[in-house]
Amino acid sequence: MINFFSYTYASFVKILLFNTHMKSNKSILKLFCFSFCCCFSNFNSFSQNKLKLAVDTITTSNDNIILYDDKSWEYLPVVKRKNYLKAFADTSSIFTKNWKNSTFAYKDKFPPDSVLITYLDDQDKYVIPVIDRINSGFKLRNGTFHKGLDIHLTRTTPVKAAFNGKVRYARFNTGGYGNLVIIRHFNGLETYYAHLSRLDVKEDQLVQAGKVIGLGGNTGVKWSGPHLHFEVRYHDFAFDPEKIFSIKDSVLLGDKILLKKADFHSVIAASRKYHRIKSGETLSYLAVRYNTTVSKILKINPKLNINSIIGIGMKIRVR
Average pLDDT, 10 consecutive residues per value, the chain (319 residues): 49 50 45 44 39 71 73 68 80 92 92 91 85 92 87 96 96 96 96 98 95 97 93 96 91 92 82 85 90 90 88 88
* pTM for this entry: 0.68
Please tell me the predicted confidence (pLDDT) of residue 52: 73
- Whole-angstrom distance, CA of residue 267 vs CA of residue 265: 5
E strand map for 19-62 = 54-59
CA 217 to chain centre: 16
- Whole-angstrom distance, CA of residue 224 vs CA of residue 117: 34
Which value, to the nearest 10 degrees, does the dihedral of the CA atoms of residues 38, 41, 42, 43 take? 130
CATH 3.10.350.10 domain position(s) in the chain = 273-317
Burial class from Cβ neighbours inside 10 Å (0-12, 13-18, 19+) for residue 46 reads exposed
- Whole-angstrom distance, CA of residue 304 vs CA of residue 311: 12
Please tell me the predicted confidence (pLDDT) of residue 77: 66
Please tell me the predicted confidence (pLDDT) of residue 202: 97
Please tell me the predicted confidence (pLDDT) of residue 72: 77
> What single-letter DSSP state applies at residue 7?
H
Query: Among residues 172, 149, 171, 173, which one has the least CA distance to residue 162?
Result: 149
The SS3 of residue 281 is coil
Please tell me the predicted confidence (pLDDT) of residue 24: 43
Superfamily of domain 273-317 in CATH is LysM domain (3.10.350.10)
CATH 2.70.70.10 domain position(s) in the chain = 114-267
**What's the CATH fold of domain 114-267?**
Glucose Permease (Domain IIA) (2.70.70)
Please tell me the predicted confidence (pLDDT) of residue 62: 67
